[in-house]
Structure formats: structure tokens, C-alpha cells
Chains A and B, each alone.
Chain A
């Protein structure tokens, strides 16, 4: 399995968050992509919409399955990775770089404290992968 980047923060639902100032870039982890299989469809939220931690942010679908993606933090959506819609396989190929979903301007930085660091997420993955 691909290693988990230590510079990012994670949720139990397999989203990652990269924090730069008050901007959070959000995507799904390599483990999530691998579990889902070949990603063939992505639905992203609209730029300008409000993000609410825990609410559904979008959808990722493989040939076989549909999986919800959740906002790890609250705020305003500033940018969405539109090219993903035409190249959803990017999520399998490069989940932490080109496979990002959205950038959110955070309204409550304290929400970041609830996110996990890489070692904790890695343990969660090991437990999920039986």
C-alpha cells in the first residue's frame, strides 16, 4: 500500500486535508481510492457554496460502488478541481496531488484539532483492512 503523507491531516472517512493558512485543500486517500476500485465518476460541490463539517461534500463512484465524501471542515468553497470530472481515474493515480477535490476557506480553524495525524490514520487503515 502507498504510504500516508505525514504533512496532511485525515478523517476516519478517508478524506485528507492540506492546510495552507486558512485554506484547506481536500481529497480522498489512496486507501479510499484503492478500496473503491477504478473511479469512473466524481461529483464535486459548487464553488461559492458553504461547506459544513460532516455534511456530504460529493460523490465518488467506481464501476461497482457509490461512495459519499464528507467535508472535514466548515467554510466557503473557493475552488473545485473541475478536470476531475473528465478524468476521474486521477483519483486512483494521484490521490494526494492531482486528485484533490476542493479548496475551502475555513470558518473555524479549531475543527482541525479533531482531525487525525498520519500515524493515527495509518492505524485506522490497518484496522479497516482487517
Chain B
């Protein structure tokens, strides 16, 4: 039986088309994916991401535990800062990709993918390095407020001054009268905030954001737009672009791997991979022939399969097809060409610079 977030009724009221996603009943769209996508790129959109998991790592061993569990360097992370990181298995593949919020060296919040939450908690508890691990996913709702007008909107509802809050920084305070973690994070590439609040406060906060943002053009946005927005940024989606078989180096996420920080799970595999050279790499590409690339389509060179498409869609911003996929290293440079097999026919594609679009956060 799929679970429902505290905002389920709000989705029905807004005409959300409900689908099952990662064991949750969530809207895939309200009025339309393109309209919601455009609202986020040009104004501001609200996403219910309450299905995401919240796992706290605390105690005197908390820093040591997060350093061992994650690829990024939590010692260099400042209090009040967040880092994107890989949670790797022994083979260097992704157990999950996570956001790690550092309160102080004895308190970290890991935000994990809904589909992986149970697996992640089991993995983290089995590798806790003496830290206290608390899965508090059920206590939290999360609303992502994303778009160039997101700061103006959230600021209308809080006394916390948001102007000094930098990208990947967070603070705590009241928004619309309810206590929140206010984080300048997101999955769209736009200026944006993720508000973590108690499940019981979610409906009130959602309603307040919609009301306060009317003149800014705020609208609820659903899973479909979330997917097309992140794809335009070449942000990886677990289960599509990354999984337990692919390492962060192969996924072109070398920037979240800090090999010099000391030991962490999966490190040796990455060191070896770096030494030997990568066999494959995740690239972003567009089509020079007609057709839209989709997850699972073969990537061909000279008629032979050499890789696979991991994500693809028609970009609502560019109005042309975009995709991501694993290709052999020799085909990973910008301007490299290959074919994507679309319904049995090869269609020409070319590797391009990513992110695919420019956004308000840059």
C-alpha cells in the first residue's frame, strides 16, 4: 500500500494527477508539466518532497561517521552548510546520493531518496562508527520553493533575513508561524529553498506559500516538472543515472569525491579507478536527428552498442531533446558523436556542454 504525504489532500484539491512513485502516492502533474516547469524557471513553484528521508547522525562520533560514510569532506564543511555527497558501497557504487547538512561536528542531517530510505538507514546503522543514527523521516514534511522569485516569496513569510543565506547554506526559523529548517538547496538549478517542517505543519505552510505568492505567479509543481528541471541541469537521478553499479567518477561527479580527506567506504575502488582510467562516463547530449532519447535506449557507435541512455526528455526550456547516458571514455568529450537507437532506428546525437540551460542561481 503506497503511503501519502501530509500534503495529499492539497494535491487532490489542486487537481493533481496521482501516481505511485517510490512507494508514495504523489502527483506527476497538476495542470501540465510544461506550464509547471516554466513557472519554476521564470517565477516560482512549490514541490511536495515530503517523501524524502531525514536521517540524523549525532554524538561525539558524528563527524567521524559522516566522513566514513560519505565521499565529500564534512570536516571542511562549515556549520550551517550543506554538501552533496555519495553514500557508497564497498565496490564504490552508490547506495544513494544524499544531501548532508552540518549543524556542528556532533550533528548532521542526511536527506536521502525515498526509494532508498530503508536501505540507506540499514546501511548507515551497519556502518555507524559509534554515532547515534535516528531515522526521523516520518516527523518531517519538506516543501521545495524553487524559482527566481522564491526568495521574495519565502521572505514575505519569515523574519529571518534570507539575503545573506548563500547557496547550500541553511538556518532555522519560523516561516508562516511554523518552525522550519530553511535551506538554500534544491534540485532545479534555480534560486530556491527547501523548507523542512513538522508533518503537522505542512498543510498550513503550503497554503501560506500559495496565498502569499499569488502576485508572483506561484504554482504547485509535481514530479514530472521536477524530473525535466533536474534533467536540464544534468542533475543525476538515483535509479536512472546512478545506482549501486556506477561510481561517482563514472557519473562525472568527481567534484563530490575528496580522495585526500582520509578513509571512507569505497575509497580504494575510486583510487584504483582513477589510476587505471575510467572505462565509461556519464555525458549530456542533444539529438541532431529527430527523436527523443529515453531511459534504457541503446547508445551505438558504428552500429554496435557501446552505452545506454539513462535519462532523456524534450527540454521544455530549449524545446529540443536532451539526454544523459553512459558512453566509453573516448566518446565523452564535447562534440563527440554517436547514435541513439530509437524504436529500432539509429538517430544521431552529439555530446554538449552541461548544464543544458542557464538559470537564475548562476
Chain A residues with a Cβ under 8 A of chain B: 37-38, 40-41, 43, 59, 61-64, 66
Contacts and interface: CB of A to CB of B under 8 A. Distances in A.
B72 to A, nearest CB: 31
A63 B228 CA distance: 8
B76 interface: no
A63 B34 contact: yes
B292 A38 contact: no
Contacts of A41: 291-292, 314, 321
Contacts of A37: 28-29, 32-33, 224
A63 B33 contact: yes
A52 B83 CA distance: 56
Given A37-B29, A38-B34, A64 B224 contact: yes
Interface of B: 28-29, 32-35, 37, 224, 227-228, 290-292, 294, 313-314, 316, 321, 343
Given A38-B34, A41-B314, A64 B292 contact: no
Contacts of B290: 43
B343 A38 contact: no
Given A59-B343, A61-B292, A63-B316, A38 B32 contact: yes
- 7 tightest CB-CB pairs across the interface, nearest first? A40-B314, A63-B33, A38-B34, A64-B224, A38-B32, A41-B292, A61-B292
Contacts of B35: 38
30 contacts: A37-B28, A37-B29, A37-B32, A37-B33, A37-B224, A38-B32, A38-B33, A38-B34, A38-B35, A40-B34, A40-B292, A40-B314, A41-B292, A41-B314, A41-B321, A43-B290, A43-B291, A59-B343, A61-B292, A62-B33, A63-B37, A63-B224, A63-B228, A63-B313, A63-B314, A63-B316, A64-B227, A64-B228, A66-B292, A66-B294
B11 to A, nearest CB: 16
Contacts of A59: 343
A61 B291 CA distance: 10
Contacts of B292: 40-41, 61, 66
